[in-house]
């Protein structure tokens, strides 16, 4: 078993530590127009009110990091991402997870960001490795490595593990410390493959045992197409925390999910005296 590694992220004023001995770090997913028609429409019109509200609400609900995605088809993504980030940084001070597939947008975002950002993401494709990792190194950022490559998303945990190993190796060659690579096993939808959950969980276990790196995951993908998704997402996230997940990308405004994360922290012995659990309980009582 590899030693568990510590990833630190920071904004101008705040530092967040990600480690398997510490409470789970929630990366708030909502600032993302993909699949959210209202956000898409608002961003197209240059209206950032929803971005502002999504930032404030997610931090109030326990997000320690915010994912920012400005992928609007046809828009100037570098300019739009910059505006979205600036809006978020006006209303919150948590570190940002910069979610873009556009290297120009990434370069612009990293140049603007003050602190240590999390880059979302690099994958095992040569084109991605050679464009994203140098930017990560140049800016001293951390990076999410997706378990996919030129041939798509491998079906088996062993093959996904190999992609993770390749990304970690390539990052290391550029001088990016291994603790600054966070692996995403990729949670596909169960609607397409009923083994999607187990494959993600087994990938997490393999990667953690070998490298001790932190693990993220867009945990809500799993339940697409199913009714009562919140219960599936909450259960899956708790199971993934046991497997080694340390910083899920999720929606903290869904109480079932936030409560499951807090309960998992408690069960894993990462909540001394249950103080965080009790505090969250009191907050729920007060807001009723
Ligand atoms: N891994 C990594 N990054 C990611 C993902 C991942 N970034 C994007 C995505 N997956 C995670 N982010 C989101 C953001 C928003 C929503 C889902 C995932 C979302 N979903 C609604 C839903 O679940 O029904 C869509 C509609 C709505 O809100 O009305 O909003 O896997 N590294």
Q: Is residue 40 part of a domain?
A: yes
Which residue owns the Cα nearest ligand 1 atom 5?
218
- Per DSSP bridges, beta strands 118-123 and 7-10 are unpaired
Q: How many domains does the chain have?
A: 1
Is 35 touching ligand 1 by the criterion CB < 6 Å? yes
pLDDT at 270: 97
Given a cut of 90, is residue 288 above it in pLDDT? no
Q: Is residue 13 part of a domain?
A: yes
Cβ contact 219:236 at 8 Å: yes
Given a cut of 90, is residue 63 above it in pLDDT? yes
Cβ contact 68:55 at 8 Å: no
pLDDT at 41: 93
Task: Point out the ligand 1 atom lying closest to the alpha carbon of residue 187.
Answer: 31
Is 81 touching ligand 1 by the criterion CB < 6 Å? no
Q: Is residue 2 part of a domain?
A: no
Mutation choice for ligand 1 from 41, 251, 253, 256, CB with most ligand atoms inside 8 A: 251
- Per-residue CA distances from 28 to 22, 97, 162, 223, 247 (Å): 18, 9, 28, 18, 10
CATH number, domain containing residue 136: 3.20.20.20
Q: Is residue 152 part of a domain?
A: yes
Ligand 1 centre to CA of 275 (Å) is: 30
Nearest partner of 182 among 134, 217, 139, judged by Cα: 217
Q: How far apart are CA 218 and CA 237, in angstroms?
A: 10
Cβ neighbourhood burial of 1 (10 Å; 0-12, 13-18, 19+) = exposed
Given a cut of 90, is residue 68 above it in pLDDT? yes
Ligand 1 centre to CA of 2 (Å) is: 31
- Per-residue CA distances from 190 to 46, 126, 148, 187 (Å): 36, 29, 18, 9
Q: Is residue 161 part of a domain?
A: yes
Ligand 1 centre to CA of 217 (Å) is: 10
pLDDT at 35: 81
Is 32 touching ligand 1 by the criterion CB < 6 Å? yes
Is 271 touching ligand 1 by the criterion CB < 6 Å? no
Q: Is residue 167 part of a domain?
A: yes
pLDDT at 51: 97
Mean pLDDT rounded to a whole number for the chain: 97
Cβ neighbourhood burial of 46 (10 Å; 0-12, 13-18, 19+) = exposed
Which residue owns the Cα nearest ligand 1 atom 31?
218
Ligand 1 centre to CA of 12 (Å) is: 26
Q: Quote the pTM value.
A: 0.97
Determine the structural domain holding residue 134 and report its residue range. 7-287
Which residue owns the Cα nearest ligand 1 atom 20?
35
Q: Is residue 1 part of a domain?
A: no
Cβ contact 174:134 at 8 Å: yes
pLDDT-derived band at 192 (thresholds 50, 70, 90) equals confident
Ligand 1 centre to CA of 249 (Å) is: 8
- Per-residue CA distances from 85 to 29, 40, 190, 204, 279 (Å): 14, 16, 33, 30, 30
pLDDT-derived band at 287 (thresholds 50, 70, 90) equals confident
């Amino acid at each position: 078993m590899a030693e568990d590694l510590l990833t630190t992220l920071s904004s101008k004023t705040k530092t967040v530590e990600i480690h398997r001995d510490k409470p789970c770090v929630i990366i708030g997913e909502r600032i993302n127009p993909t699949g959210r028609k209202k956000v898409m429409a608002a961003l197209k019109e240059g209206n950032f009110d929803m971005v502002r509200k999504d930032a404030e609400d997610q931090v109030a609900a326990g997000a320690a990091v915010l994912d920012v995605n400005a992928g609007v088809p046809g828009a100037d993504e570098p300019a739009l991402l910059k505006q979205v980030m600036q809006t978020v940084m006006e209303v919150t001070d948590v570190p940002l997870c910069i979610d873009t597939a556009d290297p120009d947008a990434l370069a612009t975002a990293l140049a603007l960001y003050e602190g240590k950002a999390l880059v979302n993401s690099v994958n095992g494709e040569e084109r991605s490795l050679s464009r994203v990792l140098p930017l990560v190194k140049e800016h001293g950022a951390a990076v999410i490595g997706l378990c996919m490559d030129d041939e798509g998303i491998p079906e088996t945990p062993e093959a996904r593990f190999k992609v993770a190993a390749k990304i970690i190796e390539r990052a290391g060659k550029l001088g990016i410390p291994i603790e600054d690579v966070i692996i995403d096993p990729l949670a596909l939808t169960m609607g397409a493959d009923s083994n999607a959950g187990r494959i993600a969980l087994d990938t997490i276990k393999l990667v953690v045992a070998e490298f001790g790196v932190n693990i993220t995951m867009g945990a809500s993908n799993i339940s697409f197409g199913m009714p009562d998704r919140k219960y599936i997402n909450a259960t899956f996230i708790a199971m993934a925390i046991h497997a080694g997940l340390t910083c899920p990308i999720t929606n903290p405004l869904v109480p079932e999910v936030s409560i499951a994360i807090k309960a998992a922290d408690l069960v894993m012995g990462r909540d001394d005296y249950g103080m965080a659990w009790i505090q969250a309980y009191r907050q729920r009582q007060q807001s009723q």
